[in-house]
Every structure is written in C-alpha cells, then in structure tokens.
Structure 1
Amino acid sequence: MSSNLKKISLITFCSLGVFWSLPLAAQQTGWGEKNKLEDAEIVVEKNRVNELPEATRNFEKLRIPPPEKKPRQVNYRFADYRLATNNLNLPMRVLTIKQEDLTQVNGNYIKLGLGNYSTAYVKGYFHNKRDNQFSYGADVSHVASAKGPVDGSNSGVSNSEIKFNAESYTRDLTVGGNLYYNHDRYNFYGYSPVIEKIDRDTIKQVFNRIGADIFFNNKVSKSELQFQGGVGFKYFTNRFGARESNILTNIGVGYALDENAKINVDAKASFVGYKDSTSINRGYFRLRPSYESVSDLVSLSLGAVIAYTGDEVNNARKLNIYPSVRVGYEVVDDQFQLFAGVEGDLKRVTLHDLTQENPYLNQDVQVADENKVLDFYGGLTGNLGSSLKFTARAGYQSFRNLYFFNASQTDSTKFDLVYDNGTTKVINFLGELSYNYSERFRLGLKTEINKYTTDLLAKPFHRPAFQTNISGSYNYNDKIYFHTELYYLSRTYGQVFRRDNEGIYRPALKETDNITDLNLKVDYRFSNKFSTFVMGNNLLGNQYQRFVNYPNKGLQLIIGASYIF
C-alpha cells in the first residue's frame, strides 16, 4: 500500500513541473502574443537514401505442432426418460415407398369359336398360378373343318392335341416332365372330282403321336459347373399300319474357366425303330465339345461335331466329323457385331416330324438323317437402341441326303421322299428385323433366299427359292388387340406323270403358285376376364397350291369368345 502512494506522489510532482515550465519556454523563444513571426527561408535537403537489404524468401510452410494428446477419461451418463403413452399424438409420419404389386396371373383360359367350312375352334389353357416351387398344367386344342376346298367333306381336316407339363424348383435344381397326345385326321384330296370317283374310305389318313420326357438342369445355380439333361420317348402310327418308336436322350455340361471363358460338351442320342412293310432300325449319336470366350471386342467359339448315323439310304456316310468355329467382332459396343464361321452338322429326321410338314406322304417312304457337310457363313447383327434389332447372314452350304417331296408315280395324291444322289449346293441369304415400341406395337420381318443347285434331280421339288414373313401386333388401350401376318412364298416345282400318245406315263414338271397369304386376328376385351375375337385367314382369297394338286382353303373366318379364370 505504501509503495502505491509513493508512485502516485511522484507522478503528480512531475505533472506540475511540466505545467509550470510551458509559459517560461514561450517567453524565451518569442512565441508570445506581442511578438510577430518574421519571414524566413527554409531549405530542405534530401541527402539520405534509405536502402533495404534483400530479403531471403522462405517457402517452407509454417508448421504448427499438433497439441499433445493427453489421455482423458470420459464418463457418460444415460438418463432414462419415459413418456406417458396416454393421449400421445405424434404428428410425424414415416415416409414409405409403396411396394409394386405383382401382375395377377390367371392360370386358366378357354377359347371357343365357329367358322366357315364348318369349322370348330377350341383352345384351353389350364395351369396353376404363380408358385415358387411348382409349375404344372395342361393345354387342350381342337381345330377341325368338316369341309374343305375340294369335294366338300372329302377335303376336311382335324387336329387335336392335349399336353401336360410339370416342373419343380429348388434352390439349385429344376426337374420337370412333359406328356402329350396328338391326333390328326386328313384326306388325300389331290384328285380331280370331275374325272375321278373316289371311295371316301380309301382317302382317309389318321396320325397318332404320343410323347413323354423328363428333364433336369441347374440353370438357376451360380455354380461354375452347369449341366442339363433329359430322356424321352416318342411313338407314331398312321392309318395304314406304319409305326415308329424313338428313344432319345441328351446331356450337356458347361464349366466356366473364368468370367469370360468356358468349356461346353453336348451329347445326344436317338434310337428309332420303324416298321411298315419292312422293319428298319436307325441309330444316331452326336457329340459337340467346344471352347467359348468373350472379351470386350471379340467373341470366339472353337469346337467340333462328331456324329454317327445308322442310315443306309443313298449310301449315307456313317461317321462324320465337322468343324464348328464362329468369330464375332464388336464394331460398336453392344450395338453392331460382325460374325463369320464354318460348321457342319447331322440332323435327326423322323417320320413323326415329316408328317407334320407334309401330311400327304406315301407308305414305305425312305427316311434318312440330313447331313449338312459344310456351311461357310458370315454376316452382321445388332440393334439401334432398345427397340430395333436386326440380323443379316449369307452362307454357302453343301448337303447330302437333303430330302425333297415329290409326287408318287403310282398315286398322284401322295408324295415320296426323294434325295439327290450327289451333294446339293445351296447359296443362302437370311435377313431378320424386329421392332418393339413400348410393348404396345411390335413388328417383325424375316426374309430367306435359297438358290439350290442339284446334282441329278431336275428341280429342288417343293422347296421355295424365296420366302418372306411380316408380322405385327398392336395393343390399343388394353382394350383392342390386333395381330396380323403376311407371308409370301415363291413358286416351286413338282414332278407329275402324264401319259403320252403311246400310252406311256412320262415325268413332267409342274409349277405351283406364288403364295401370298394375309391373316388378321382382332380381340376385343370387355373386361379382365371376358373378350371376343375374330380371326381371318387367307383374306386375299387365293386358292393357291403349296403342294402339287392340293389347293388351299380360300377366305376363312372364325368368330368366338374367350374367358379367363
């Protein structure tokens, strides 16, 4: 306290001394009020130059050491706050996304219709609804015309079929089976009713087909090892006592080496027993190993086909080895690809399938497997956006035992299977185009050109050189559905036998018609379950001949209704 008083006394004394010294200084220098300021000249000289030494720049950033971490103990205290549940009104709502409902799948529908030519139309589809473990059902079909284009009921036709199927799904394995029965009735109406009087019972033809198979695969599995296989049986009979049984099996294995490469081995076998006036056994085996790889620009498939046939028709080659090579190059990623390859194959041919292509076959026909000796091909494929897809392909092919349908020399209403003694050369062009817009409008185009060069046959009987197909569908407001199809087949040739002036029957070529056929189907939907439909076949009304002496039906209309349940 005493030291502070001493400091205050000293400061006060110094201040008073300065105050009293100011008037004395003013009197000595003449700065009083009675004195005047005289004129004077002041000269300022700048003789000094201030120079600063050159600074040294320091580019090193200023480093501030981080604070030293000191361990500290943090204690937490959890308080238990409980709200009363009575009269609690929370205004906050949880925002959720509505789950999209699955489209309802109706397991059954039936369609019934009637048309000209005394036609009955019945279709049935009976299946279980969506299930993660099982799928099973049955399909029923009956389409019959009591009358036809020639001689009334003598050209009627009937096609009936019933099919059953079932599948079982587990996590890594699918097992299923199929069973079907097919009954077809035709008439050999390729005669002239003005000239010939026909016993109706002699022109009837009836086909019965029975088939069953079981299969398995692990396609849903993500395993590196993929496999599939099956075994089946087909049985065929006709009205004239011909019988054909076919036991067939297949198995395939694929192993992924990595994400871009895999190895495949596919094998199939068939044993056919055929009995008509004679009995024939026909064995068949096919093995195809291959290596496949895919990169950003190039896709490659290298393999071979080893095939065996037990046929003896036309001195058929028993054991055959073919190349199987295909190379693809992506010109534009996922949009445009060029491809080329060479391959060969042996195709199993049976009477079961041939009678579906031409139901007017003769008895005791000679059936042989189709041997595609070589096929050199190249082309391009791609898409323009997600709606337009296209494919163009050109190839040069060589066949042995390629079958042709030709009118029988003993009965002009029936057809025999004939083969070229040598090889049949084919220059092939194929083009496909598909357009899909918003799932409501679809358009498809397919065109195929085949230039056949035969060895001994006069013409490639009943094989058209040009055929094209245009199909389209349109969905109008989920109320009216349109589906149309237009196809064109160029004229073909058949061989008939005509009697000359000497009374000898000699072969002569006969052309069939150029075929232009327009079909249209319209469905009108009254509700989700009930709709009506109108089907028009051959709307242009052309009575063309696909096979010699067999004119087709003219305009045909079918009107009916369908019900979904």
Structure 2
Amino acid sequence: MQNQIKYIITLAFLVVASNGFSQERETDTIDTDVVNVVKPYTPTISDAFKIKETPTLNDSTTAQKKDVKYNIFSIPVASTFTPAKGKAATVDKAKPIKLYDNYASLGFGTYTTILGEVYLNHALNRTERVGGYLSHHSSQGGIDGLLLDDNFSNTNLNANFSKQLRDMSWTVDAGFGLQTYNWYGLPQPLFDETTADMINEGHSFYNVHFGGKLNFEDAIIDNLKVRFRRFGDDQDSGENRFVASSEFTVPIRGEEIKTEVTIDYIGGEFDRNFYTEDAIKYGNINFGIAPSYQLKQDDLTVNLGVNLVYLNDTEFSDNKFYIFPNITASYRLVDEILIAYGGIEGGLIQNSYYDFANENPFVSPTLFIAPTDQQYNASVGLKGKLSNSMSYNISGRYFADRNKAMFMSNSVLGGATEDYQYGNSYGIVYDDVNTLSVAGELNVDINRNFNLGIKAEYFNYSTDAQSEAWNLPDIKGSLFLDYQIDDNWFAGAGLFFVGERKDLFYEEGTLVPTSPVTVTLDSYFDANAHVGYRVTDRLSVFVKANNIANNDYQRWMNFPVQGIQVLGGATYQFDF
C-alpha cells in the first residue's frame, strides 16, 4: 500500500514539472488584451494590517538576559603635568589720572609780569575740611608812548572752613584783597612831560570780606547765606555792604511754594566830588521777597512767580516799593534736540563802588552810587543738541533799565588840583536805557580731550537823556578751545572780540572851553593761547601768550593796553 502511494505522488510531480517546461518562448510576452474594470476596488478598515503600539516578541532566544560581568584593572601612571588655572580675559584700561587736592603755580613774563596762585584744600576728618586761596598778578608796565606809569598789581587771599553734619552743612570764609593801578590815560597832545611830572597817578583799592552759608536737609528752610564786605581806597573813600538771603519751601495743599527772602544794605562815602570839596554820601537798604511755583506737565515746565522789593534810601529818607515779574517757561519740542524757552523777569540791581572799580579800575573816587531799576527782562530762545557732542543756544532779549549806570570819561578840568582831573579817569552817568540783543552759542564736546565753545551777541540801545549808550559795545564775541593732545601735551586758546563803543571828551574851566566831542573807540580783537607739558603726575610746565596780534587797542579811551605778552611757568600739584 505504501508503494502505491509513492507512485501516485511521483506521477503527480512529473505532470506538474512537464507543464512548467512545456511553455514556448514566443508566448513569454506581454499580453495586449484589454482588461475592463467592472467595479473599482474599495478598501475597508478590516482589510488594513494594524501595527500594534507595543509589539510582542516571541523569540525564545531573548526570553532570558545573560548577566555580563566587567573587570577593570587600574594601573597607576606617573605624570608631571599640572593644568593652569582658568582666568577670564580682561580689557586693558587707561591708567587713571591721579587727582590732587592742592596746587601751586608760578610764572614770569614780559613787561616784568609775575603770575602766581596757590590753592589749598585739606580734609581734617570725615566731616571737616579747611582750605585757602592766594593769587597774585602784577606787571611793571612799559607801554610805549605813555607819559605816566602803567604798572599794576592785584593780590587776593581767602580762607574757608566747612563742616558736614547729619541734617545740615555749613561753611565760613574770610578774605582780603589789595589792588594798585595808575590813572595813566593822559590825553595827548594836550599835556607834556612837564604836566606829567606834577601828577601822582598811582591809586589803590582794598577790600575785607567774610561770610558763611548754611544748607539744611529735609527742612522748610533750604539754605541761609550772609556776606559782609568793606571796600575802600587810598583817597579816604569807604563802602560797607551786607547781604543776607534765605530760601525756603512752604507746602500748601500738596503743592510747594519756593520763596527767597533777601536783605541788601549798602552805605558809603567819598571824601569829595569831582568839582568841589563837598563829600558824597549814599546808603540804601532793600527788603525783597520772591515766591514762585513750578508747574510740570509732560514736556512743559513753567515757573510762576513775582519779586517784591522795598527800597529805603537812608541818606535822602526816600522809600519806594517795586513789583517785578518772575515768570519763566520751557517746552521740549523734540526731546533733547529742540527745546523752546522764554520768560519775563525783573529786579532792583544794587550798584556799588566795589563792582564799578572791578569792572573799570580807572574810576575816580567821586562817584554817585544809586540802584538800577530793571523793570523787565524779556527773553525767548531755542536750545538743544545737534548730536551727542554738539549743543546750541539761540536767544533774543529785550530789557528796560531805569537809571542804568554807564561809564563816561571825566572832563579835563582847568586848574586841576587832583591827580584824576586831567581827563585821565572815569565817572558814572545814569540814564533810562532799553536794550535789544540777539545771541547765539555753539558748544562742541567731541570727547574728554577736545572742547570748543563759540558765542556771539549783538546789542542795540535806546537812551533817554544821554545822546549815546556810553562805553557799551554793539557786538561781543568769544571763542574758547581746550585740547588734550596726548598724555603729556595740552593746549588751549581764547579769542575775544568787542565792537565799537562811544565816549565823550570835553574840557571845562579853561580859558578857551571846547564843546563835548563824541569819540568812537575802534573795535578790537584779542587772541590768547597757551601750551603745556606734563612732566610728571605732579609737575607740569606751561607757556602763555596774550594779545598775540600785538594790537594797541584801547579798552577805555586814552588807556592803551600792553602789546603781545609771553609768560612761562610751572604748576605743581600735591597732597598733605
């Protein structure tokens, strides 16, 4: 039976194999018959083969994990390598400049000029500090063509002490000054050497002053200042002035009203007037109060205030009350680029012999001193920054001064008995003057090593009683330059321009009197420069030159200035 089954299977296998090999070669081609699809295939979900998210593995060879054991054989190796410690990269910084609290400077120059300064500032402890200042500037003169000496000397000494407390700080100071000048502006060719030999042209001024200041923290009173000054000359003239002022803030309904209170007294006497032996006495005391309120809203800032002044003329027993506006405002049109500002202010200006002599040391000791009523000073302007290193300021002002003081040359007095009566001194005249001015200013600060400033201003005057605004220039301009060339070299320059001024020349009491003649003083240009070298952190040397153009201009009529002046010296800085 088994053999029969084997025969049957063998026969079936041969039949199948014979059919496979019986196909002809020419039939192994692609059939070109057309297949018509009766119904397209539509798959169903059940036809898809689903893959399990977590497959199972039925491989019997991975059913058990074999444990693997590792053996590490550590063998020590000798090494001399030592890694360097990590360090952050740094940026090289310039060596900081050592600043000193004290310095001394001394220089010598042409016209036998001596220039010296000593500034001292020392901290006694954390809260107390003491300081002092000494300056001296003198020249033996030597201007060509003069009949009288033109030497001068100016010496000032000041000392101060300050103390810082928890809620307040205070400072006291005192000083002394001595100035010597000459009335050398003798009109020529009216006088010759014979007349000059009879004149003692030298005169001197002195002043002694002391005062103090208190500053308060978190108090109604912000500060308190007092100052007393005694000023006089060698012609028996003397003047006393005392000024006290205080600022305090008063809160009213959540708003702060800032107020300044001032007391200003002046009293003095001249031994005689210009024409007679009669003495001149003057005295005024002012009481002022100036409250103001500041309003801020976005880019607008407005200060609203008023200045009230009561004047008591102690010599003539005359009293007056003044009301002055005190209003200012500013508005930021374009951030820091364009800021508009303006205001209208006023005040009572207390004139003094001290102020006149410092502005014009050739005044005669025969002045009449009176205050100036500046009724208003209206201003408008634009300021801002053109770039991070350049700023500008353009402004216009119009102010009205009643009883404005102006310098005017004294007349040539026939039969002169005083050394200042030969047309070689100055007096004071008063008039109502309205002034219009237009000014422009440009400042360039490229970096800490280069600074440049330019300013120019034009004036137009309108007088009442006087025919001219005596000795007031129509144009003023200035340029300042400072340049730190490198770590050692530094330089600077200053240029000044003053326009034309008017003065009056006339003779009185002569056999043939002359009519007053208006004299136009030429405009002048003065160029100054300096250069220095820092030898060490403490020591530096410098050279200065003034009036480089060597112009023989006259700041005051008949008073020519020195020509080109060159001065060299050294400055030493130190600490105690």
For the criterion TM > 0.5, the same-fold answer is: yes
Contact 2:405 2:430 in 1 (8 A): yes
Give the corresponding residue for 1:107.
Answer: 101
Q: Tell me which residue corresponds to 1:533.
A: 542
The one-letter amino acid of 2:405's match is Y
Q: Is 1:557 aligned to residue 557 of structure 2?
A: no
Q: Which has the higher contact order (CA 8 A, sep 6+)?
A: 2
- 1:458 partner SS: coil
Code of the aligned partner of 2:515 = R
2:203 corresponds in structure 1 to: 205
Match of 2:120 in 1: 126
Alignment match of 2:339 (pick from 337, 340, 349):
337
Q: 1:548 is aligned with what amino acid?
A: M
What is the alpha-carbon distance in structure 1 between the residues aligned to residue 171 and residue 292 of structure 2? 27
Q: Check whether the contact 1:313–1:368 (CA below 8 A) recurs between aligned residues.
A: no
Q: Which residue of the partner structure matches residue 413 of structure 1?
A: 424
- 2:262 is aligned to 268
Q: How far apart, in 2, do the equivalents of 1:362 and 1:44 lie? A: 134
Residue 498 of structure 1 deviates from its aligned partner by 4.1
Confirm or deny that 1:140 pairs with 2:134: yes
2:305 match: 303
Please give the alpha-carbon distance, in whole angstroms, between the structure 2 residues aligned to 1:282 and 1:562.
Answer: 44
Maintained 8 Å contact 2:268/2:283: yes
Q: Which residue of 1 aligns with 2:477?
A: 468
Give the Å deviation of 1:33: 8.8
Q: Cα deviation per residue 1:466-504 (whole Å; 9 max; x = unaligned)?
A: 110111111111312211111111111111114799812
Change (3 A) 1:229 1:500: closer
TM-superposed CA distance for 1:134, in Å, is 3.2
Aligned to 1:176: 171
Q: Give the structure-1-normalised TM-score.
A: 0.79
> Do the aligned residues in 2 keep the contact of 1:183 with 1:208 (CA within 8 Å)?
yes
Aligned letter for 2:212?
A: I
Q: Partner of 1:480 in structure 2?
A: 489
Deviation at 1:262, TM superposition (A): 4.4
Contact 2:281–2:315 under 8 Å retained in 1: no
Q: Flag structure 1 segments of 5+ consecutive residues without an equivalent.
A: 1-22, 53-88
- 1:153 is displaced (CA, Å) by 6.8
> What is residue 518 of structure 1 aligned with on the other side?
527
- Residues 1:262 and 1:472: Cα distance change in structure 2 (over 3 Å): farther
Which residue in the other structure is 1:494 paired with?
503
TM-score normalised over the length of structure 2: 0.77
Which AA in structure 1 matches 2:208? I
Provide the rounded CA distance (Å) in 2 between the counterparts of 1:212 and 1:500. Answer: 44
> 1:258: how far off?
12
Superposition RMSD in Å: 3.6
Map 1:118-517 to 2 at 5 A. 118-128=112-122, 132-149=126-143, 151=146, 154-192=149-187, 195-196=191-192, 197-199=195-197, 202-218=200-216, 221=217, 223=218, 227-254=222-249, 262-276=256-270, 277-311=279-313, 318-409=320-411, 410=413, 411=421, 412-420=423-431, 423-498=432-507, 503-517=512-526
Equivalent residues of 1:289, 1:303 under 8 A apart: yes
2:59 aligned partner: none
Structure 2 vs 1, CA of residues 274 and 51 (structure 1 numbering), >3 Å: closer, same or farther?
Answer: same
Q: Deviations over 1:326-360 (max 9, x none)?
A: 22111111221011222211122211111100111
- Residue 282 of structure 2 aligns with an amino acid whose one-letter code is I
Cα distance in structure 2, aligned partners of 1:100 and 1:265:
47
Q: Judging changes above 3 Å, is the alpha-carbon distance between structure 1 residues 534 and 91 closer, same or farther for their aligned structure 2 residues? A: closer
Give the drift of 1:129. 6.1
- CA displacement 1:488-544 (0-9 Å, x = unmatched): 111111111147998123211111121111111111222222222111111111111
Q: 1:369, CA displacement in angstroms? A: 1.5
Separation in 2 of the partners of 1:47 and 1:161?
119
Aligned AA (2:287): F
In structure 2, relative to structure 1, the CA distance for the partners of 1:102 and 1:501 (3 Å cut) is closer
| Paired amino acid for 1:187 | N
Is 1:338–1:381's contact at 8 Å kept on the other side of the alignment?
yes
How far off is 1:279 after superposition?
Answer: 3.1
Contact 2:379 2:396 in 1 (8 A): yes
Query: Do the aligned partners of 1:251 and 1:268 also contact (CA within 8 Å) in 2?
Result: yes
What are the Cα deviations for residues 272-317 of structure 1, in whole angstroms up to 9, with x where unaligned? 1212224332112222111112333111111111112334999998
Residues matched between the structures, number: 495
Contact 1:148 1:157 (C-alpha < 8 Å) held by counterparts? no
8 Å contact from structure 1 (residues 434, 445) kept in 2: yes
Letter in 2 for 1:212: F
Letter in 2 for 1:545: Q
Tell me if the contact between 1:106 and 1:129 (Cα under 8 Å) persists in the aligned partners: no
TM-superposed deviation, 1:378: 0.9
SS at match of 1:252: strand
Deviation of 1:43 (Å): 11
Distance 1:464 1:246 in 2: 30
Q: Secondary structure at the match of 1:198?
A: helix
Judging changes above 3 Å, is the alpha-carbon distance between structure 1 residues 314 and 417 closer, same or farther for their aligned structure 2 residues? farther
Q: CA deviation at 1:385?
A: 2.9
Q: Residues 72-113 of structure 1, C-alpha deviation per residue, up to 9 Å, x if partnerless?
A: xxxxxxxxxxxxxxxxx9986797999999753322222222
Once residues 317 and 464 of structure 2 are traced to their aligned partners in structure 1, the CA distance between those partners, rounded to angstroms, is 15
Question: Is the deviation greater in 462-471 or in 292-301?
Answer: 292-301
Q: Deviations over 1:141-189 (max 9, x none)?
A: 1111112425477111110111112222234422112211110000101
CA contact (8 A) 1:146 1:153 kept: no
